[in-house]
Structure 1
Amino acid sequence: MTSSSHLDFLLTDFVGRVPHVAHVIAVAADGLLIASNDTLPRDEADRLAAIASGLTSLLAGAARSLQADPVISNLTEMNGGYMFSMSVSSGASILALAGLHCDIGQVGHELANLINQVGPALTPAAREVLRAQARASQLTR
C-alpha cells in the first residue's frame, strides 16, 4: 500500500524532473486533496483540489450532456501557463500547473507515466487508508 508521504514524494519528484512544472496534486473524487508536491502551501493545494474537482465534474457533465465518452484529460491554456487535468480512477484526478515554456507533449506523457505509478493508490479503498493515515498523523502532531 502506498502511503500519503510516498505520494507526496512522487509528486515532488515529478515537479523536480519535468521542466517548467510548478505544482502537481492528486485529488479524490469528492474534491479532497490526497497529495501534493512539497513546495505548494497546504491552503493553495486545497484550493487547487477544489478547482480540480469542479473542473472534473464540469467536464464529466458536459460529456454526459453530449452523450460522449468520459473525459480523460484536459489542457487549459492560461495567461502565463497551462493547467493539465487527467482522470485517474473512480473520479480521482491529477492536476498539474506548468509554465508557458513547457513542452506540452512531455508534460502530458510524464503525467500519464505518473498516473501509472500512483493510480492504484487513488482507488476508493486505498484513498480511505490514506485518509486514515493522514488523520492519524495530524493527531500525533
Structure 2
Amino acid sequence: MTTSFNVDFLVNDFVARVPHVSHVIAVAADGLLIAANHELPREEAERLAAIASGLTSLLAGAARSMRADPVISNLTEMNGGYMFSMAVSNGASLLALAGFGCDIGQVAHELADLINKVGPALTPQARHNMRVDY
C-alpha cells in the first residue's frame, strides 16, 4: 500500500526530476489535498486541490455529455505556463504546473507514470487511513 510519506516523496521527486515543473499536487476523489511538493505553501496547495477537483468534475461531465468519457488528461496553456491535469479512475487527480520551457510530452508521460504509482492512495478511504501531513 502507498503511504502518505511515499506520495509526498514521489510528488517532490517529480518536481526535482522533471525540468521546468514548479508544482505538483495529488488530490483525492473527494477533492481534499493528499500531497504537494514542499515549495508550495499549504494554503495555495489546498486552493489548487479545489481547482483540480472542480476541473476534473467539469471535464468528466463534458465528456459524459459527448459520450466520450472517461477523460484521460487535460492541458491548459496560460500566460505563465501550462497546467496539466490527469484523472485517476476513481475520480482523484494529479495537477502539475510547468513553465513554457517544459517538454509537454515528457511531463504528460511522467504524470501517467506517477498515477500508476500513487493512484490507489488517492481514494477517500486510503486518505482516511493515511496521516496527511506534508
Q: TM-score, normalised by structure 2?
A: 0.93
Q: Do the aligned residues in 1 keep the contact of 2:15 with 2:21 (CA within 8 Å)?
A: yes
Q: Return the offset for 1:123.
A: 3.2
Q: One-letter code of the match for 2:72?
A: I
Does residue 87 in structure 1 map to residue 87 in structure 2? yes
Asked if 1:101 corresponds to 2:101, the answer is yes
Q: How does 1:1-141 map to 2 (within 5 A)?
A: 1-130=1-130, 133-134=131-132
SS for the counterpart of 2:52 is: helix
Q: Which runs of 5+ in 2 are unaligned?
A: none
Q: Percent identity?
A: 77
Conserved? CA contact 1:24–1:36, under 8 Å: yes
Moved over 3 A (4+): none
Alpha carbons 2:29, 2:123 under 8 Å: kept: no
Letter in 1 for 2:86: M
Give ranges in structure 1 of 5+ residues lacking alignment. none
For 1:6 and 1:114, the matched residues in 2 are separated by 11
Which has the larger displacement, 82-91 or 18-27?
Answer: 82-91
Per chain length, whose mean CA-contact separation is higher, i.e. which structure has more relative contact order (CA < 8 Å, sep 6+)? 2
Distance in 1 between residues matched to 2:38 and 2:124, nearest whole Å: 24
Question: What is the Cα-based RMSD across aligned positions, in Å?
Answer: 1.3
Structure 2 contact 30–124 (Cα < 8 Å) conserved:
no
CA shift for structure 1 position 57: 0.6
DSSP-derived class of the 1:75 partner: strand
The aligned length equals 133
CA distance in 2 between partners of 1:50 and 1:129 (Å)? 21
SS at match of 1:2: coil
TM-superposed CA distance for 1:69, in Å, is: 1.7
